[in-house]
Amino acid sequence: MGSKYPKSVRVWLPLWALTLEVIFIVVFFFFTSHPASAGEQKKLLRNYRAFQDVFIMATLGFGFLNTSLRRHCWSSIAFNLFLLALGVQLAVLLDGFLIQLSFRKMVLDMSSIQKATMSATSVLISAGVVLGKVNLLQLVFMTLIEVTALSATRLVGLKYFSMDNHVSMMYIHMFAAYFGLTVVCCLQKPLPSASEDKDQTATSPSLFTMLGTLFLWMFWPSFNSALLDIADERKKAVLNTYYALAVSTVTATLMSALTHPQGKINMTHIHNAVLAGGVVVGAPSYLIHSPWLAMVLGFVAGVISIGGVKYLQVCLQRTLELHDTYGVHYTFGLPGLLGGIVHIVLMVLQAQGTDKSTLGYQVLINVGALGFTIIMGVTSGLLTGLLLNLNIWKSTHKIHYFDDQSFWKFPRLAVGY
């Protein structure tokens, strides 16, 4: 599996990305500064912790979530870290510029980095779909477009659809899933033999995937409550997420056994399906007043997630030739969409005092925001997919980017090739 890079490309590509990093530093030099005063210690503490939980999810959780394919385990973790580090820098800058809509100096505190980390998470979700089909430079390019498109979407949502920070951030699961799926639709199909080989799972990497799943599972309540400011809503978001995750875990495990011809549990189902409960209560979590509703949503998410992987995936793979290896559509896409709809329904049900016409307007504007997010995801994904199909990437297409020597020694011995 020798590299097919011509020498000029090998040197040029990393240099191009290094230049990007230098540009970032220059922009930071001119346009950013630390906050002047520290504020009170207590708030720093709270922010730091909330931030750390989100950071652990992005670094460890998503890093290890995509390691189950035998030939991508290393790449996925290292690429994940690389894309996160790059995406956060871009997201911090874009959030600052877009929200103040000018090029004044901006003050970056902990919560700026936190929001940027959550935005960069969208890249990690999309990377789960395209991993193994593109090289590192294409991923860098995808990161630039996706983070920009997401920041623009969130800005429009905040300004014109009167969304709040929390809800617009909870839509990123959906945005990222449909972005990634559209990109992968546009990409050239991999050769069947190579793809089959790459899809083989291995025991030990699969345990790493489980590690990623568990880290996401444990810290999901922090993710769903990170951008809520009122203590009461924050508490409800945390509790509801726990209930939904617990029920979706039980449901997904049993559904996996139920749909298997021999009554066995498929691990690749479990890796993703247990998280669907966290995704589905993302947007509406702060509006749910008793545990049972969160549990019902978790139940539905578990059923959708496993049912989707089992029946819908085969269908989509045949009609659209969509190769969604990790079932991102059923973990993040559909549950995110369901969560958005539930959020709108709950808003209507709980807005009893308001008069009819205002309510109708509110529903309209919320459905619009939901639809706009999906459309932006698909459109920017289409753009990315088409650009990634251009000839300039051809020479570097489908080439592994890791040093064979250190990587392949052990498996090569083990599997005898």
**Positions 95 through 134 that interact with its own copies (CB under 8 A):** 108-110, 113
Report the half-sphere exposure of 170 (CA within 13 A, side-chain side).
36
Closest CB 59 distance from its own copies, rounded Å: 5
Site string for its own copies, 57-96 (x = CB under 8 A): --xx--xx--x--x--xx--xx--xx--xx-xx-------
Under the binding rule (CB under 8 A), the answer on residue 163 touching its own copies is no
Structure tokens belonging to residue 404:
């064979």
CA distance 343 to 363: 10
Q: What angle do CA 158, 162, 167 make, to 5 degrees?
A: 70
Cα 55 → chain centroid: 13
Q: In this structure, what DSSP letter does residue 60 have?
A: I
Residue 189: other Cβ atoms inside 10 A: 11
Q: Report helix angle 267-280 to 334-350, nearest 10.
A: 20
Of the pair 80, 366, the CB lying nearest its own copies is at: 80
Of the pair 163, 270, the CB lying nearest its own copies is at: 270
Of the pair 99, 106, the CB lying nearest its own copies is at: 106
Contacts within 8 Å (CB) and 24+ apart, 396-399: 396/4, 396/5, 396/9, 396/13, 396/135, 396/137, 396/138, 397/134, 397/135, 397/188, 398/133, 398/135, 398/190, 398/194, 399/3, 399/4, 399/5, 399/135
Tell me whether residue 133 is exposed, middle or buried, using C-beta atoms within 10 angstroms of its C-beta: 0 to 12, 13 to 18, 19 or more: buried
Total binding residues for its own copies by CB under 8 A?
125
Of the pair 232, 355, the CB lying nearest its own copies is at: 232
Closest CB 46 distance from its own copies, rounded Å: 6
Residues 346-365 that bind its own copies (CB under 8 A): none
Site string for its own copies, 386-405 (x = CB under 8 A): --------------xxxxx-
Closest CB 392 distance from its own copies, rounded Å: 16
Cα 387 → chain centroid: 21
Closest CB 411 distance from its own copies, rounded Å: 6
Which H or E run includes 32? strand 32-33
Closest CB 67 distance from its own copies, rounded Å: 7
Among 186, 291, 363, 378, binds its own copies (CB under 8 A): 291
Closest CB 104 distance from its own copies, rounded Å: 15
According to DSSP, the residues that pair with 201 across neighbouring strands are: 69
Closest CB 43 distance from its own copies, rounded Å: 10
Among 274, 304, 337, 388, binds its own copies (CB under 8 A): 274
Residues 192-251 that bind its own copies (CB under 8 A): 200-208, 210-211, 214-215, 217-218, 230-232, 234-236, 238-239, 242-243, 245-247, 249-251
Of the pair 7, 356, the CB lying nearest its own copies is at: 7
**DSSP, residue by residue, 115-153:** HHHHHHHHHHHHHHHHTTTS-HHHHHHHHHHHHHHHHHH
Of the pair 195, 201, the CB lying nearest its own copies is at: 201
Among 101, 104, 264, 357, binds its own copies (CB under 8 A): 264
Radius of gyration of the chain (CA): 21
Of the pair 98, 109, the CB lying nearest its own copies is at: 109
CA distance 90 to 172: 16
Of the pair 127, 163, the CB lying nearest its own copies is at: 127
Closest CB 82 distance from its own copies, rounded Å: 5
Closest CB 186 distance from its own copies, rounded Å: 25
Of the pair 133, 236, the CB lying nearest its own copies is at: 236
Of the pair 104, 356, the CB lying nearest its own copies is at: 104
User: At a CB cut-off of 8 Å and minimum separation 6, what does 323 contact?
Assistant: 133, 184, 189, 190, 195, 317
Token look-up 């951030």 returns 169
